[in-house]
A and B are shown apart, each in its own frame.
Chain A
Amino acid sequence: GAVVSQHPSRVICKSGTSVKIECRSLDFQATTMFWYRQFPKKSLMLMATSNEGSKATYEQGVEKDKFLINHASLTLSTLTVTSAHPEDSSFYICSAREELPYEQYFGPGTRLTVT
């Protein structure tokens, strides 16, 4: 199956700093990428949908100025958590979608801890 990489896998940062997470589709072109957040023992929460070359579509309640998403190419999307706070600590997962059958391939996730 298709492979999606995510970097870094784990990051610890201090409150007030910014963190960038990269998501890459390694063997296919992903016109659409998704960013999810997952709290312990909870299901995936969609944060935003990004299409290559256009602005991301954010879900209700997700601050677009805090979670900056860039989808500059068909194989790369980045999520930047700006001015991170401890409540931003979470498991962030990206996925990339092929057109048919619209299956999403997930990256391995990034565990963010803000101290």
Chain B
Amino acid sequence: GQNIDQPTEMTATEGAIVQINCTYQTSGFNGLFWYQQHAGEAPTFLSYNVLDGLEEKGRFSSFLSRSKGYSYLLLKELQMKDSASYLCAVVDSNYQLIWGAGTKLIIKP
């Protein structure tokens, strides 16, 4: 079966750095997305990785290792508005998105 694992909840302090991990086992791989979702709102796109390595975009970076079936989202200089759920999603061999359950990130002052 297909499976995406990410922690259910994480807590971090404003101004700090947090890393949210995602491991996957899917039938095929055509890329991995990270989305941010605030409560009561639809997800918004953060990053897309299809090749191994680190992609940096402002305060957010995303890393992929295809051989390990592993990705992480790194958030720097945390702000209170970063409190949200972060969803990992993998594009499988049929080009369908397989969703993780999401990681709820709580930022404390």
Contacts and interface: CB of A to CB of B under 8 A. Distances in A.
Interface of A: 1, 6, 34, 41-44, 46, 49, 91, 93, 101-109, 111
B8 to A, nearest CB: 10
B97 interface: yes
Contact of A43 (B44, B45, B102): B102
Contacts of A109: 40-42
Contacts, number: 44
Given A42-B101, A44-B99, A102 B43 contact: no
A101 B45 CA distance: 13
Q: Is the interface of B mostly helix, strand, loop or mixed?
A: loop
B64 to A, nearest CB: 13
Contact of A91 (B40, B45, B95, B102): B40
A108 B43 CA distance: 8
Contact of A108 (B30, B31, B41, B104): B41
B70 interface: no
A49 B97 CA distance: 11
B33 interface: yes
B101 A102 contact: no
Contact of B31 (A49, A91, A102): A102
A106 B42 contact: yes
A34 B100 CA distance: 17
Given A91-B40, A103-B33, 17 more contacts: A34-B97, A42-B101, A43-B100, A43-B101, A43-B102, A44-B43, A44-B87, A46-B97, A102-B31, A102-B91, A102-B95, A103-B45, A104-B33, A105-B45, A106-B42, A108-B42, A111-B40
B48 interface: yes
